[in-house]
Structure 1
Amino acid sequence: MTDSRPDGGLRADRVARRTDGRLIVDGVTLFPRTGETVGLLGPNGSGKSTLLRLLAGVLAPSAGVVTLDGRPLPEVGRRAAARRVATVGQHAHTQTELTVRDVVALGRVPHRRLWVPASDADARAVTAALERTGLTDRAAQSWHTLSGGERQRAQIARALAQEPRELLLDEPTNHLDIQHQLDLLDLIASLPVTTVVALHDLNLAAMYCDRLLVLREGRTVAEGSPSDVLTPALIEDVYGVRAEVTHERDRPVIRFLRRAPRPASPGEDRPSPVP
């Protein structure tokens, strides 16, 4: 499904961000289509997190513009943008003793006036978000007692309680075991929102993303479907590793190849073979 409005949705047009004299993001353009999941790929330091912060309006671009429905984010305003765009970071920490429902209810803040009690609409949105993320039976539980995967689901529930149309996620599967990574990405892929997600795992990106944007040193080096982007040549060029790429159900499957053993120097003792 594509957006019927040429300027609709969240857009980054040739955005750049300079920090301490260095370009962290350099002229990146990203136009997510309505309802699709866009994966941001690239090595550490390639600019993925900074691009997400630019899209969220947390950082201002040094050049270029981020727009929401054709209007620059500063014109939209922080509160109005927060009703449309939700973010989920890599980690969430709090020293305050909060229940899971309390954490999810934080997503309603952009919809409420200061000091005004929660409305029935707020309660319904929180309940729906808990149900969508499978956390209804954890609602009264302390957030601190949740597992890592459950905490990430609670953060996604908090984002869903905002009732956003766009969702930005920064490496949400970090530090999760394989089962929880798959559970979380199954959830993300099922959400009725436009999603931009930074990922490290190329196979997970291939499985769950409709389109990929690959960054290196802040610049776009490739954009397109997973099958078009994830080639052995690109993987070696961007990540410096060799890989074989096959396809299953029209999705690429990457197998990384070990580097050849380093030849022994003259006179260097070789390890004895194990019988």
Structure 2
Amino acid sequence: MSLLAHEVSWSVGGRLVVDGVSLAPAPGTTTGLLGPNGSGKSSLLRLLAGLRPADAGVVELDGVPLARVGRRTAARRIAVVEQNAATETDLTVAEVAGLGRIPHRRAWSAPSRSDEDAVERALERVGLADRAEEAWHTLSGGERQRAQIARALAQGPHELLLDEPTNHLDIAHQLDVLDLVARLEVTAVVALHDLNLAAMFCDRLLVLKDGRAVAAGTPAEVITEDLIAEVYGVRAEVEPRGPEARPSVRFLPGRPV
């Protein structure tokens, strides 16, 4: 089972936002999307999710173009967690997670026992089983994000797409959320800004600049001082170096020469 993009492009107002990008994450791995603001990360995730059609190229699910898979089938397979996801504030944590079961239910039907079991398992996996009956809006920022991940997991997805899931979270919650994602038995693609978090938790990285892919590979292959200077326009020291390393980035004052 696989989700892939082959040379996909998408433009708005005549400007190419995603320009001929390919991505084929291995099943069960976590792939990080890196790049500065406006590089096309969020737009690529929306193409992968089928939320917008590509102008060129193709997104495939198990070898079938996503446009032919069907919206309901795709919604059962592909779950999306957006940055700062909002939910009606009068819902409980369990009800938020239960929104993920909508693709599996007939219109207007009540939740089945299997739906309830899926929600319970999802909340258990994100560590919120004991908060199930509490109001979603009473949770901390990190707990709210975990509840949104529980909603995605309740779908029973094989692919999980996350757009800046650590945005506006403190460092402890950033680590908690990404450690959770990395341990899930799904194929995850996650857009991130923090290079050190990407190096810690991602198996592979794809770096975008101005809508185009400029580097792809393991964190050790991708996160280099030269790439950081080229893509982000800043100076940095990267240690340690080596094919098996999980690199650590220290940013330096001043611009590259």
Please tell me the TM-score bracket, short chain as reference: over 0.9
Q: Give 1:95 deviation, angstroms.
A: 3.8
The TM-score, its normalising length taken from structure 1, stands at 0.90
Alignment RMSD: 1.1
Instruction: Count residues in correspondence.
Output: 253
In structure 2, the partner of 1:157 is 150
Is 1:123 the equivalent of 2:121? Answer: no
Secondary structure class of the residue paired with 1:108: helix
Unaligned runs of 5+ in 1: 1-7, 261-275
In structure 1, the partner of 2:248 is 253
Q: In the aligned structure 1, how far is the partner of 2:97 from the partner of 2:201?
A: 25
Q: Give 1:116 deviation, angstroms.
A: 1.7
| Alignment partner of 2:6 out of 10, 13, 16 | 13
In structure 1, the partner of 2:33 is 40
| Alignment partner of 2:77 out of 79, 84, 90 | 84
Provide the identity percentage. 66
Q: In the aligned structure 2, how far is the partner of 1:116 from the partner of 1:217?
A: 45
Is 1:140 the equivalent of 2:110? Answer: no
Secondary structure class of the residue paired with 1:93: coil
Could you report, residue by residue, the CA deviation over 1:40-94 in whole angstroms, capped at 9, with x for unpaired residues?
0000000000000000000100000001001111110111001000000001223
Q: In the aligned structure 1, how far is the partner of 2:88 from the partner of 2:157?
A: 27
Q: Give 1:96 deviation, angstroms.
A: 4.7
| Alignment partner of 2:196 out of 187, 196, 203 | 203
Q: In the aligned structure 1, how far is the partner of 2:67 from the partner of 2:207?
A: 27
Is 1:172 the equivalent of 2:165? Answer: yes
Is 1:109 the equivalent of 2:102? Answer: yes
Secondary structure class of the residue paired with 1:251: coil
User: Is the 2:225–2:238 contact (alpha carbons within 8 Å) kept by the matching residues of 1?
Assistant: yes
Q: In the aligned structure 2, how far is the partner of 1:220 from the partner of 1:246?
A: 24
Unaligned runs of 5+ in 2: none
Could you report, residue by residue, the CA deviation over 1:86-135 in whole angstroms, capped at 9, with x for unpaired residues?
00000122345100000000000001111222111111100000000000
Q: In the aligned structure 2, how far is the partner of 1:247 from the partner of 1:81?
A: 41
Q: In the aligned structure 1, how far is the partner of 2:87 from the partner of 2:250?
A: 39
Secondary structure class of the residue paired with 1:59: coil
Secondary structure class of the residue paired with 2:75: helix
Secondary structure class of the residue paired with 1:109: helix
Secondary structure class of the residue paired with 2:247: strand
Could you report, residue by residue, the CA deviation over 1:24-55 in whole angstroms, capped at 9, with x for unpaired residues?
00000000100000000000000000000000
Q: In the aligned structure 1, how far is the partner of 2:110 from the partner of 2:141?
A: 31
**Amino acid paired to 1:63:** A
Greater displacement, 92-101 / 110-119: 92-101
Is 1:67 the equivalent of 2:60? Answer: yes
Larger Rg: 1
Structure 1 runs, 4 residues or longer, greater than 4 Å off: none
Q: In the aligned structure 2, how far is the partner of 1:96 from the partner of 1:244?
A: 44
The TM-score, its normalising length taken from structure 2, stands at 0.96
Q: In the aligned structure 1, how far is the partner of 2:16 from the partner of 2:254?
A: 32
